[in-house]
Structure 1
Amino acid sequence: MKYYIIAGEASGDLHGANLIKALKKEDQAAEFTIVGGSLMEAECGQKALIHTNQMAFMGFVEVIMNLSSIARNLKAVKEDLLRVRPDTVILIDFPGFNLKIADFAKKNGIITSYYISPKIWAWNQKRVYKIKQVVDHMFCILPFEVDFYQQYHYAVDYVGNPLLDAISDHQINTNFVADNALSPQQDIIALLPGSRKMEIERILPEMAELYHKFPSHQVIIAGAPNFDESYYRNIIGDLPIKIVFDQTYDLLKHAVAAVVTSGTATLETAILRVPQVVVYKANPISIAIARKLIKVRFISLVNLINDYLSVHELIQGDCTASNIADEIGELITNPAHRASVLENYDVLREKLGEPGASGKTASKIVAYLRESQ
């Protein structure tokens, strides 16, 4: 069967690659067309129609500034869908773009599968009515999403969280310190500034100040695959901070604490049991609009899933080098605080369940397609 898979950002690329791997096991004759990143390209052996680094715009102002690029991408994907005529289009998160594609695909008789539900429970919940109209099969990865959709009499499949697959499949590099010429005598503080340009440029300067505030530690940046080292050097200046690429899990596994931009990485950090502080800073206008619209108490997935404050969040004006340093200091030097965060991670892990989301999703997609035939 033919699968058209669309992921618009780095986390979706990771989950898309794992889903492709699982689909190949379920369907020996699988053919793929993708909109995604380098991981998906490598897994299916196909070049993406559009790469994620041309798509990942986040924030109200940022989206408005890139409307022409978004419109071009939508037009290109729609035309390609009609050319390929897949058995299903599989949409991975990225709702601003993917819900438009779902609408188009549905109108043109293409089965729509949505993997990783849009976070409609956070804001603009009325989008659920649109989803019911245009999405044939929804696959949820957060346990509370099933109850949310049930309120609207929409049946979904809960498949577990694919991050558990990615992390359980990863072989930790025990030579990480030596391979990256790090000091074995100094503990590591990991900096995860995100994968979007507009986030990195606002947040990384605050993060980088930890170099001065923790001179006895090594401060290491996890670089996003869509940027090179010179990009980060332009932001941090002459600070001699090491930047590592494609080694985020290894970095976290060797870190004593982490500063993490809100997003999928907060959940990855928690699953790997690294005490963290969650940070976020964006365009002030985007934040002001979001605060009026968003209906949840927290921004990090760790806190949202546990439904209580499990890790500290520093947002916008609170996201300062001083506040970040204070919380990192507590996580490193206060045994009771550190233990509390790790206990919260135990609660989270129990709620997430076991690995296998990619395989479950692939199996269900193939079964639904065979039933429809």
Structure 2
Amino acid sequence: MKYFIIAGERSGDLHGSNLIKAIKTADNQAGGVPSIIKAWGGDYMQEAGAEITKHYRDLAFMGFLEVLKNLPTILGFIGECKKTIEEFKPDAIILIDYAGFNMRIAKWAKKEGYKVFYYISPKVWAWNQSRAWSLKKNLDRLFVIFPFEVEFFKKYHFDVEFVGNPLFDAIATFKPSADFLIRNNLSDKKIIALLPGSRKQEVEKMLNLMVATQSKFADYQFVIAGVGNLSLDFYKPFLNDNISLVIDQTYDLLSHSTAALVTSGTATLETALFGVPQVVCYKTSIISYQIGKWVIKVPYISLVNLVAQKEVVKELIQDDLTIENLSNELDKIINNQSFRNQQILDYKQVKESLGEVGASEKTGRRIVEILSSTKQ
């Protein structure tokens, strides 16, 4: 069978790659011809066997204001994507997160008669919750990765499938590198990891604040978790004798870290699953922040706190994200042993609530099963 997959961000690319492997296995077992997969995604999905027709680095716009400023470009991408799908004529379209773009594609695709699956639900529970009706109308199946999402969608009479969290899949296949420190010219000092994100505009904003705390923690080395879609020249201004950079080695970095400063997003949950105490950081333009305050309906921005339904990690947002506050919170998770231990204990409860390894495999298998049953 033929599949078209859309992932607009690095995390979606990672989970999409595991989904592709699962689809290929399940499709072959179902007795079909070898699956053909085209995608808008990234390097991980390409390595898994998809033909990438557009890279997610071209699609990354952050914040309400930034999206509005780039709306003509985004609408152009949507038109280009529709054309690619029409030429490919897939048996199924699979959407991964990336709500603003993918929900528009879902609406169009359903009208055109395509089978539409969504893996990793848009965060409609966070803002503009009425979008749940649109998902119900335009999808053949929605696969969710957080337990609380099942209850949320029940309010809209929408039965969704909880498949577990795909981060378990990614972490389960990870094997720490024994030579990580040597290979990256890192010292024997304990490491504070800096995870500033993957979009250029957010990375620049976050790193300026994160690296400013370094002088107060001279006994530690700071290591930036860089991403390959940004150039080395971009990171150079943030580096010095005690601030280093590793590229596309976030899991290795976390497995060697004592603490972390993390931009809100999937990385907060990844950091928790590695058991690394963290402070969550988020800052955007004033206009985007004011719009966000108005529309966001959840009490936290980090996935760790949302899953736990309480404050497990400190969130420093917008005006609260100062060098002083960041330094004070970092000091707590390093030097206040009871505070540090409590966060690690809460991490274990978060992990237990997220299910087990196999989310991508389960989702891939279910998609193939549904498609196969409709073709009989």
* Cα distance between partner residues in 2 of 1:240 and 1:154: 52
The aligned residue for residue 132 of structure 2 is 128
Q: What is the aligned-residue identity percentage?
A: 48
Residue 55, structure 1, aligned to residue 56, structure 2: no
The aligned residue for residue 159 of structure 1 is 163
Aligned to 2:35, which of 30, 34, 37?
30
Aligned to 1:310, which of 307, 312, 319?
312
1:46-85 aligned at under 5 Å gives the runs 46=51, 48-85=52-89
1:106-121 aligned at under 5 Å gives the runs 106-121=110-125
CA deviations on 1:200-248 (whole Å, 9 max, x unpaired) are: 12111000112211111000000022102111124x2767521101110
SS at match of 2:167: helix
The aligned residue for residue 324 of structure 1 is 326
Residue 88, structure 1, aligned to residue 88, structure 2: no
Preserved CA contact (<8 Å) 1:87 1:110: yes
CA deviations on 1:240-297 (whole Å, 9 max, x unpaired) are: 5211011100001100000000000000000000000000000111010100110100
Partner AA of 2:114 in structure 1: I
> Aligned pairs, how many?
370
* Cα distance between partner residues in 1 of 2:244 and 2:15: 27
CA deviations on 1:167-198 (whole Å, 9 max, x unpaired) are: 011011122111111112x1000000001122
* Cα distance between partner residues in 1 of 2:65 and 2:200: 14
Preserved CA contact (<8 Å) 2:39 2:50: no
Preserved CA contact (<8 Å) 2:239 2:245: no
How far does residue 372 in structure 1 lie from its aligned partner after superposition?
1.3
The aligned residue for residue 352 of structure 1 is 354
Preserved CA contact (<8 Å) 1:210 1:219: no
How far does residue 58 in structure 1 lie from its aligned partner after superposition?
1.8
Q: Any stretches of 5+ residues in structure 2 without a counterpart?
A: 29-33
The aligned residue for residue 223 of structure 1 is 226
Partner AA of 1:302 in structure 2: V
The aligned residue for residue 253 of structure 1 is 255
SS at match of 2:225: strand
TM, length-normalised to structure 2 = 0.97
Preserved CA contact (<8 Å) 2:38 2:50: no
Range 100-109 or range 194-203, more displaced: 194-203
Partner AA of 1:350 in structure 2: E
Partner AA of 2:68 in structure 1: I
Tell me how large the CA RMSD over aligned residues is: 1.1
* Cα distance between partner residues in 1 of 2:283 and 2:275: 24
Preserved CA contact (<8 Å) 2:20 2:50: no
The aligned residue for residue 7 of structure 2 is 7
How far does residue 155 in structure 1 lie from its aligned partner after superposition?
0.9
* Cα distance between partner residues in 2 of 1:107 and 1:197: 35
The aligned residue for residue 48 of structure 2 is 43
Residue 198, structure 1, aligned to residue 201, structure 2: yes
Preserved CA contact (<8 Å) 1:303 1:309: yes
* Cα distance between partner residues in 2 of 1:269 and 1:69: 33
Partner AA of 1:82 in structure 2: E
* Cα distance between partner residues in 1 of 2:267 and 2:239: 25
CA deviations on 1:295-325 (whole Å, 9 max, x unpaired) are: 1000000000000000000001111122111
Aligned to 1:211, which of 200, 214, 217?
214
Partner AA of 2:200 in structure 1: K
Range 294-303 or range 199-208, more displaced: 199-208
CA deviations on 1:67-94 (whole Å, 9 max, x unpaired) are: 1221121011100111111010000000
Preserved CA contact (<8 Å) 1:50 1:73: no
